[in-house]
Amino acid sequence: MMTELFPKNKGQGRKFRPGAWLCRTVLVFLMFLSLLHPVAARELSPQEEAALFSLADLGPVDISPKKLVVEVFISPDPEMAACHRLLPGVWDRVQGFYGRLGVYLEKMEGGPQPGPLAPAARLRVEMLTHKDWLARSFKAFDVQPPFRLRFLQVCRDKCAFAHLPLSVVHVSFKRFQEMEFSAKPGDEAVNRDWLANLLIHELGHLLGLYHAHEFVNDPIPERLPDGKTPNFMSHHIASRTDLGCLDFQKSLMHSYLGRGKVYQQYAQVNFDPLNYLKLIKRHNGYREPGAAAKAPGKKQGRQGAVKTYDDDDADEDD
Ligand SMILES: [Zn+2]
């Protein structure tokens, strides 16, 4: 049930219509990647690919503290009053969480138009009305009008998407408020913490992390070794005050932000999380939960025109 409560995106620019996506967004993105990176991604030999995508050895990881600018835009719509009220406290918690991991998120007031966003350098969070959230999600996933009704169904129980290639998190504050907030007087702190957890999780995607429940045999279980504390990249984060992060995830993040191996992995796939997961899976021997038992239906779901990448498996074991 809990996992129904917020988006199951592996974040981040899964291909809603692969052709259109490739034609536009990735091309634009490649162009600006080439500005960041003098050497563009090249075709790798099978051996090179296996070595690059192995997580067994991340190579040298620079875990020195890192600073990252995050634009935070709140829609000026009057129905966002509660968001304006909660956000300072929410941001304190987000910043505190990442600060403890050596990642300093420097908040900037975002204007209606994004500044010069870039992966691992400058990110943006947009707190939106539901209408705006849908419009921006359509655009980010490049959902054309004939597919929008079906996309609406996919979005029914979602409040946020993280788009890694765009360096943006879109949150439907309105829907989150309606679906998740406690109306009890005195519960404002509970609501604030839950919203903070949502942002912590979504930003995790923009910092190069995938879901804890993605694979059954990777080093990231859904709970910390104490068996209780939920991993912040799991779907057990509603109204918890004790999210946890593994040293391994900290290393992944720093490797990404420090332009180490994880950054090179993402650069190789043009920051497409779908491709990233495919290669991580292949070259580390990771298995998806229940893959053997329900492979046929699942594969169809994943490749179908309407499903976003992670709508299919997140809830089943909850
Ligand atoms: Zn997620």
pLDDT digits (tens, 9 = 90+) for 246-275: 999 999 999 999 999 999 999 999 999 999
How sure is the predictor about 157, in pLDDT bands with cuts at 50, 70 and 90?
Answer: confident
Residue 241: what pLDDT? 82
Residue 314 lies in a domain: no
pTM: 0.81
Residue 259: what pLDDT? 97
Mean per-residue pLDDT for 180-191? 91
Higher pLDDT, 303 or 194: 194
Residue 113 lies in a domain: yes
Structure tokens at 240: 């918890």
Q: CA nearest 180: which of 314, 5, 315? A: 5
Residue 291: what pLDDT? 60
| 13 CA → ligand 1 middle, Å | 12
| 261 CA → ligand 1 middle, Å | 22
Mean per-residue pLDDT for 64-71? 97
> How many CA atoms are closer than 13 Å to the CA of 106, on its beta-carbon side?
8
Residue 229 lies in a domain: yes
Residue 316 lies in a domain: no
Model confidence at 42: pLDDT above 50? yes
Residue 57 lies in a domain: yes
| 245 CA → ligand 1 middle, Å | 14
Q: Which of 105-119, 136-150, 225-239, 294-308 has the lowest mean pLDDT?
A: 294-308
Model confidence at 33: pLDDT above 90? no
| 47 CA → ligand 1 middle, Å | 31
Amino acid letter, 57: D
How sure is the predictor about 192, in pLDDT bands with cuts at 50, 70 and 90?
Answer: very high
Maximum separation of any 2 CA atoms in the chain, in Å: 60
Q: CA nearest 108: which of 153, 60, 74, 78? A: 74
Residue 214 lies in a domain: yes
Residue 311 lies in a domain: no
> How many CA atoms are closer than 13 Å to the CA of 14, on its beta-carbon side?
23
Residue 310 lies in a domain: no
Mean per-residue pLDDT for 6-33? 45
> How many CA atoms are closer than 13 Å to the CA of 174, on its beta-carbon side?
13
| 232 CA → ligand 1 middle, Å | 9
Model confidence at 296: pLDDT above 80? no
Euclidean distance between CA atoms 26 and 21, whole angstroms? 7
How many domains are contained in the chain? 1
How sure is the predictor about 136, in pLDDT bands with cuts at 50, 70 and 90?
Answer: very high
| 96 CA → ligand 1 middle, Å | 20
Model confidence at 304: pLDDT above 90? no
Which residue segment(s) compose the domain that 57 sits in?
2-303
